[in-house]
Amino acid sequence: MENGGSTVRAERAFNEILKGSNVEGVTTLWRYDFVAVTRMTDSKPETTFRTIRPPGANLLRVAEASTLAERIASGEVDRANLAAEVRRIRSTGSPYQAWLVIFAAACASGFFSQFIGGDWGGFGIAFTAGAIGQTVRIALQPRNLGAAVTTMVCALLSAVIAAFGLRAGISQVAPAILIGSVGYMIPGLPLVNGFIDVASHRNISVGIQRILNAALLFLILAIGIAVGQTVVEMK
Spell out the domain ranges in the chain: 7-90, 98-233
Kindly report whether the global pTM for this prediction surpasses the value 0.75.
Answer: yes
Q: Which of 157-161, 167-171, 200-204 shows the lowest mean pLDDT across its residues? A: 200-204
Q: Average pLDDT of 31-54?
A: 86
* Burial environment of residue 220 by CB neighbours within 10 A (0 to 12, 13 to 18, 19 or more): buried
Predicted confidence at residue 57, as pLDDT, reads: 82
* pLDDT > 70: percent of the chain: 100
Residue 113 has pLDDT above 90, yes or no: yes
The sign of the torsion formed by the CA atoms of 77, 78, 82, 87 equals negative
Predicted confidence at residue 132, as pLDDT, reads: 97
Instruction: Please write the tens of the pLDDT for every residue from 4-20.
Output: 888 999 999 999 988 88
The 10 Å CB-count burial string (b at 16+, else e) for 192-215 is ebbebbbeeeebeebbebbbebbe
The CA–CA distances, whole Å, from 73 to 3, 28, 59 equal 22, 18, 21
